[in-house]
Amino acid sequence: MPAAGGFDKGNGKGYPGKLTPFVTVTCIVAAMGGLIFGYDIGISGGVTSMPSFLKRFFPSVYRKQQANSSTNQYCQYNSETLTLFTSSLYLAALLSSLVASSVTRKFGRKKSMLFGGVLFFAGALINGFAQGVWMLIVGRLLLGFGIGFANQSVPLYLSEMAPYKYRGALNIGFQLSITIGILIANVLNYFFAKIKGGWGWRLSLGGAMVPALIITIGSLVLPDTPNSMIERGQRDEAREKLRKIRGVNDVDEEFNDLVAASEASKQVEHPWGNLLKRKYRPHLTMAILIPFFQQLTGINVIMFYAPVLFNTIGFGNDASLMSAVITGLVNACATLVSIYGVDKWGRRSLFLEGGTQMLICQAIVAACIGAKFGVDGNPGELPKWYAVVVVLFICLYVAAFAWSWGPLGWLVPSEIFPLEIRSAAQSVNVSVNMAFTFVVAQIFLNMLCHLKFGLFIFFAFFVLVMSIFIFFFLPETNGIPIEEMGQVWKNHWFWSRYVGEDDFVSNGGVELQKGSNAINNV
Ligand code: BGC
């Protein structure tokens, strides 16, 4: 059998505690972190299809766009500086997420969130008032630094604050807020593009100041997590805080585990070196391949460039921005399906269904675009049914991503890493994600110009490979307490070669790692 099946969750731990207002506020702050990330993903594509924006900052792209339809449609947006505008943010986020992990550890999650919020704000301000391309790029670098800090600290904050049994749902809540951020950006682009005088792009870019302010203020008002307080030596305050957060007095079991976990992780001298040990081979593989594959679905071609893409395949400016709103809406709604189903149907079935659906849609979209635009990019007259079919299959593709690789690309890595490698492995996950977000953003317009409709076949190929990978190599993690997760590798047809019977010893819900006294409690 390809993978371990279900697993009895009966002997996992259950700490007392409920969804208190404190925890609810935590969720809202986490949502703000996601909103900002999503807003940035959604805003750039719309702005780069606004003629007034192109005319001012990227005149050569503007001239190509205005040229008559005999110009090759596949290449009308191909510009190094235009892609740099979009992708520079992710390079900055990649660098700062590496720095952010030590800031988050030394100064607490709150400080990192504050830092993230302030950087966002500065970036949005510079972008909103941009006078030249250099201001746009500096602004986007600052936004990227902000995202690196926020994406490192907000999910951590969320996981540490959340009661054990709500952790899974809250994790996808973060993805939901990313999709809502993208949607808000798409809607705003649609309306701001209509502003007479052509300065609507300033509102689109400057609008990021609003979510930035919310997360900045939120980080000032909220308490730090008990885990972080313990880590920084404030044990008594941390115990009190935990009581308040959980809404119960009896927090001893959880508190003691937090202290033990903190002690144990302090003893790990080389978390990065640890990651290379043989028994962590499955974890390292997943930390690299899951985010890599998530980006190679090609989703950000749609998220960043939907209006540009729709424009290329024959839609007017207005219709292009409207289509981006429609895909944004589908993205957000389909994420709800995942929140509903992830603990019922399991991760593997969502991954596999989503992969199959994406593959079929990509093949159909490639065929449609290929049939009409051919290799020379000259469509002639485009019938209405054609536009409807293309948008429909792009929506079905987005929906499939939104209930599979979107949320699971963040959820699965977060639930498989044992404590002693968790922070290092999570950094690998975040940086690989940002690196390939950057790569896809940077080369997409160029690839569209050269691969033409074959671009969709390129991504379809990766979707096929990743689905085969999931089928054979990812065990089901649904319904398994994190403390028991070592079992899934031991029972797996392939990974059992790397993870031996004694590597992760389960001890009634408390997992002692052989060779160290790390207690895996979260
Ligand atoms: C991905 C982003 C993507 C977004 C779309 C996230 O999970 O990491 O790259 O743009 O989903 O909703």
Residue 21: is it exposed, middle or buried by C-beta count within 10 angstroms (0-12/13-18/19+)?
exposed
Query: What is the tens place of the pLDDT at every residue in 217-270?
Result: 888 887 788 878 887 888 999 999 888 888 888 888 888 877 877 776 677 667
Highest mean pLDDT among 94-103, 317-326, 425-434: 425-434
Query: From ligand 1's centre to the CA of 26, what distance in Å?
Result: 22
Which of 186, 303, 304, 305 to mutate for ligand 1's pocket (most ligand atoms within 8 Å of CB)? 303
Distance between Cα 31 and ligand 1 center (Å):
14
Mean predicted confidence (pLDDT) in 345-352 = 93
How confident is the model at residue 127, as a pLDDT? 94
In the DSSP assignment, the letter for residue 490 is H
Cβ distance 332 to 180 under 8 Å? yes
Q: How far is the CA of 182 from the centre of ligand 1 (A)?
A: 9
- Output the residue whose Cα is nearest ligand 1's atom 3: 300
Q: Which own/partner pairs from 277-280 qualify as long-range (CB within 8 Å, at least 24 positions apart)?
A: 278/498, 279/498, 279/499, 279/500, 279/503, 279/504, 280/421, 280/425
Strand, coil or helix: what is 519?
strand
**Kind plus residue range of the DSSP H or E element containing 174:** helix 167-192
Report the amino acid identity of residue 235. Answer: R
- 100-104, 205-209, 435-439, 454-458: the lowest-pLDDT one: 100-104
Q: How much is the pLDDT for 155?
A: 72
pLDDT of residue 164: 66
Residue 159 has pLDDT above 80, yes or no: no
The protein residue with its alpha carbon nearest to ligand 1, atom 12, reads: 179
Give the confidence band of 9 by pLDDT, cuts at 50, 70, 90.
Answer: very low
| Bridge partners for 303 per DSSP | none
CA distance 400 to 463: 12
- Residue 450's contacts (CB-CB under 8 Å, 6 or more residues apart) are none
- Nearest atom of ligand 1 to the alpha carbon of 300: 10
Q: Is 175 in the pocket of ligand 1 (CB under 6 A)?
A: yes
Categorize the per-residue pLDDT at 14 as very low, low, confident or very high, splitting at 50, 70 and 90.
low
Q: 428-442, pLDDT tens digit by residue? A: 888 899 999 988 877
Residue 449 Cα to ligand 1 midpoint, Å, equals 24
pLDDT at 398: 97
Residue bearing the CA closest to ligand 1, atom 7: 406
196 HSE (CA, 13 A, CB side): 0
- Report the 3 state secondary structure along 287-344: HHHHHHHHHHCCHHHHHHHHHHHHHHCCCCHHHHHHHHHHHHHHHHHHHHHHHHHHHH
Condensed to tens digits (0 to 9), the pLDDT of residues 460-484 reads 999 999 999 999 999 998 877 665 6
Tokens linked to 297: 């679905």
Q: Are 152 and 104 in contact (CB under 8 A)?
A: yes
Q: Band of the pLDDT at 506, cuts 50, 70, 90?
A: very low
- C-alpha 39 – ligand 1 centre gap (Å): 11
Whole-number Cα distances in Å, 267 to 124, 263, 420 = 41, 7, 9
Centroid of chain to Cα 366: 26
Between residues 441 and 175, which one has the greater pLDDT?
175
Q: Of 86 and 351, which is predicted with more confidence?
A: 351
Q: Identify the residue whose tokens are 């007095």.
A: 249
Nearest ligand 1 atom, CA 410: 7
Cα distance between residue 348 and residue 439, in whole Å = 27
- Is the CB of 404 within 6 Å of ligand 1? no
Class of residue 60 by CB neighbours under 10 A (exposed 0-12, middle 13-18, buried 19+): exposed
pTM, 2 dp = 0.83
Nearest CA to ligand 1 atom 11: 406
Q: Is residue 44 lining ligand 1, measured as CB closer than 6 Å? A: no
Three-state SS for 236?
helix
Q: Is 299 in the pocket of ligand 1 (CB under 6 A)?
A: yes
Per-residue pLDDT, 380: 62
**Considering only CA atoms, which residue is closest to atom 8 of ligand 1?**
406
Model confidence at 377, in pLDDT bands (50, 70, 90)? low
Q: How far is the CA of 406 from the centre of ligand 1 (A)?
A: 6
State the closest ligand 1 atom to the C-alpha of 41, by its place in the atom list counted from 1.
10
